[in-house]
Amino acid sequence: MVQVWYMDTEETDQRLEHHRNPPAYLELDDLYQKTGVEYFKINADAYQSDNTLTELRAKRGYTYDDEITCSEKCLPDYANKLKAFFTEHLHTDEEIRLILDGSGYFDVRDNEDNWLRIKVVKGDLIIIPAGIYHRFTLDTNNFIRTRRYFVGEPVWAPHNRPADDMDCRKSYIKHQSENFVQFNKV
């Protein structure tokens, strides 16, 4: 099961857990209310026939998908890619990731601009809403294999912070102020 916690402010190795002292965890419902991030458990070994994923793809219009493996061995220009993934940014579209193998962290900002760290492992599917500031890093295992889903052709253009004047950010802030009550919940 996915774990979510408030991060400390240490700037040491980004791949470490970075718990506050004492640790402060969040439940999935609280994560959704604070950030709009959605979580689903998927059978990663049979994801092509997983009912939850099939329903999500149909309802949300995910028509394109691909696979990416992030590791020093598999990812060209590994060090620079990891730096780019860890730079705080947002996207104009949802970011949908299904973890097929390995593990890593998605960090998202809450409604008070605190970092929340979401540990993802095999079978976790998260949907990060358009307009939220976030970043990604591997953990100390240095390996993750992920399916990425898109509505139509992939548009994966990060917009580094600050990007508060973008329409997707303004829309996100509006939904956040309403605790995501009428947001994309399936």
Q: What is the pLDDT of residue 121?
A: 98
**pTM (two decimals):** 0.95
Q: CB 102: neighbour CB atoms within 10 A?
A: 19
**Residue 131 CB-half CA count within 13 A:** 17
Residue 141 CA: distances (Å) to CA of 72, 128, 137, 148: 11, 23, 11, 20
Annotated binding site for Fe(2+): 89, 91, 95, 134
Instruction: Please state, in angstroms and rounded to a whole number, the distance separating the CA atoms of residues 72 and 28.
Output: 31
Fold of 3-178: Jelly Rolls (2.60.120)
What DSSP string describes 67-113? Answer: EEEEETTTSTTHHHHHHHHHS-EE-SS-EEEEEEEEEEEEEEE-TTS
Question: 59 exposed, middle or buried (CB, 10 Å; 0-12, 13-18, 19+)?
Answer: exposed
Q: What is the pLDDT of residue 184?
A: 62
Annotated binding site: 89, 91, 95, 134
Annotated binding site for Ni(2+): 89, 91, 95, 134
Q: Note the pLDDT tens digit of each residue in 21-78.
A: 999 999 999 999 999 999 999 999 999 999 999 999 999 999 999 999 999 999 899 9
Q: What is the pLDDT of residue 56?
A: 96
Task: Name, in order, each residue with C-beta under 8 angstroms of 175's C-beta and a sequence gap of 6 or more.
Answer: 36, 129, 182, 183
Name the pLDDT band for 183 (thresholds 50, 70, 90): low
Q: What is the pLDDT of residue 156?
A: 76
